[in-house]
Structure 1
Amino acid sequence: MRNFISTHATESSLLAVMIVICAFLSFATDNFFSLGNTFDLLNTSAVNIIFAVGLLVVLIAGGIDISFAVGASVVQYVTAIALGWIGGGSWLSGILIAGSIGILLGAINAFLIHRFRIISIVATISTFNIYFGLLMFFTKGVSIYDLPDWLTDKVVLFEHEMPDGTWIEITLPVLVMVICVVATWILITRTTIGRQLYAFGDNPEGARRFGINIGAMQFIAFGWLGLMAGIGGLVQAHYAQEVVPNAFYGRELDVLAAVVLGGARLGGGKGSVLGCVLGVLLISITQNGLNLMGVSPFAFKMIIGAIILVAITLSNTRIDKLVPVLRGEGQTR
């Protein structure tokens, strides 16, 4: 246990913070500490976790992408139209179409960054606006409600009736989320590509001299995020039973904050799937608890900003350096 805490300091800190917040909210609200609310949190957090593990790969590779959420909206709409053209399709055809479009959008970002040497955040700000502008121009903001039955039918993997007559359940988005989390964990921890992504993100010039294909790393990282965005978009359409063009607008910053909160370094070369998942869950728990307490959503944004600032500060400061400062021993005499 001590070895785990020392090697996973960020994850351990997040777990501790989550326990404290959950303990507080269990006393401050009536419904937070219940199986029903816990299962609801898991179901509603599934899409954000799918997005987060995709973004994690980009951050590990030293990049940043804020266009993936709008890209997921594009994937939703184009996939819905394509499924109508082919007569409805199935989950297999839906995932293939959504995943392919997502990878294509990610590859466009990678191409701009690699070919024209554009800073990733600048390139993805551009594609963010291009994707969203084109989507709203062609759709005129009109939602799609006529979706195939297989996409809108609720798939319950587990359900149980509670003594008070309410039901708790785990739905399909949770299963898809688990598959995406495991696949990402395998990619970055159990493959040569994963080790190269970490090396490239930590020291791009050193990785280049070592013979790592820089272009391939960027296409893999942004392509993987595109794949996760495509899958996440399809899962959201299943969960909401509709396709809304601006459904994901603004989601990118929440997911980015969660991934950074989970220990991913904006400069690249650092990050873990466990920390990423815990970061998303911590933000979801905080938001859910504040909603149950009747706190304004504007206050939630403020509180989340403070949590992220403290978490980033602590994750980048060695405890043995922080303690003397708190005691006043680090002041210049």
Structure 2
Amino acid sequence: MRSFFRDNKIEFRVGVVLLLICIGLAFSTDKFFTLSNLTSLLNNNAINLIWAVGLLVVLIAGGIDISFAVASSVVQYIGMVLMFSMGGGNWVLGFLVCGVIGIFLGLINMYLIHTFRIVTIVVTIATYNAYFGLLMFFTRGRSIYDLPDWVTDRIFIFEHQSADGSWAELNLAVGVMLVCVFATWFLLRRTNLGRQLYAFGDNPEGAARAGVNIAAMQALAFGWMGLMAGIAGLMQINIVQEVVPNALFTRNLDVLAAVVLGGARLGGGKGSILGCIFGVMFVAITQNGLNLLGVSPFAFQMIIGAAIVIAISTSNMDLSNLFGHRQERGQ
């Protein structure tokens, strides 16, 4: 029991707070625990969770990426242009093309970081601005509405009509999100590369002396983030059925906040898929709950900011001692 709370301190705290928020909202509003609202929560945050698991890998490797949301927008435009040149394309080509473009954009970050030894946040802020500026320059801010049918057709993995006539449904993005979450969990917890990522993020010099290839770890981290950005961009097109150049660029900080809130350490070497999911859902449920209660949206940013400060400042508190003392008293 003590080892569990010692190894999952932040995840446990966020999970408990998340449970209490859900219970509070269940009593405060009759709309929160409806099937239509819960499925809407998943649909609206599938893209954020795809980004989040990619960002988790970067943070575990000791880096940080600010550019992923803009990278998704770049992928959308380039991907759709290439699809038109291929006669319209299909889902297989879509995932392949968008994934490759995303990986390429991620590897640009890696190349600059590794070659010039620049701090990761500086590089990714630079590429964030460069990608966005180039995107707006070449597109002139124009959206793309005339898209191939395969990418705009609504695909649902779950549909249900309640007795009151309301519909609950889960779209394709949720299914893709589940695959991305599982793939990231498998990479981090079931492969040697995942163990090397944790070691590299925790102690880069020690890992390098032990034979870990620094360039390979950085390429894996930022390449994986790029892959998730590419997939998220394609899913965003399917959801909104258009390509808008400036629709995603402000969402990066919310995702970063969620991943850090879920226990990923900014210094590297720490983070989990469970904590990542809890962090994203904490942000999503808090925002959803405030909307249902009619609270000002400005309160949302205040609550998330306070939660991050509390989570980071209490990360070194050992809850295992509390449970250990209780067990000793019981004896």
- State the aligned residue count: 323
2:258 is aligned to: 258
Superposed CA offset, 1:233-261 (max 9, x none): 10011011111101111111100000001
2:164 is aligned to: 164
1:269 is aligned to: 269
Structure 2 CA distance for aligned equivalents of residues 109 and 173 of structure 1:
26
**3-state SS of paired residue (1:315):** coil
**Percentage of identical aligned residues:** 63
How does 1:1-333 map onto structure 2 within 5 Å? 4-319=4-319
TM-score (norm 1): 0.94
**3-state SS of paired residue (1:242):** coil
More moved, 13-22 vs 110-119: 13-22
Shift of 1:207: 0.8
Shift of 1:298: 1.7
Structure 1 CA distance for aligned equivalents of residues 79 and 317 of structure 2:
45
Structure 2 CA distance for aligned equivalents of residues 269 and 235 of structure 1:
30
Superposed CA offset, 1:284-318 (max 9, x none): 00001111112222221111111111122222333
Structure 2 CA distance for aligned equivalents of residues 148 and 87 of structure 1:
9
Structure 1 CA distance for aligned equivalents of residues 316 and 4 of structure 2:
18
The code of the aligned residue for 2:250 comes to: G
Shift of 1:29: 2.2
1:328 is aligned to: none
The code of the aligned residue for 1:256 comes to: L
More moved, 230-239 vs 294-303: 294-303
Structure 1 CA distance for aligned equivalents of residues 239 and 315 of structure 2:
35
The code of the aligned residue for 2:184 comes to: T
**3-state SS of paired residue (2:265):** coil
Shift of 1:2: 7.1
Tell me the C-alpha RMSD between the 2 structures. 1.6
Gaps of 5+ in 1: 323-333
Gaps of 5+ in 2: 323-331
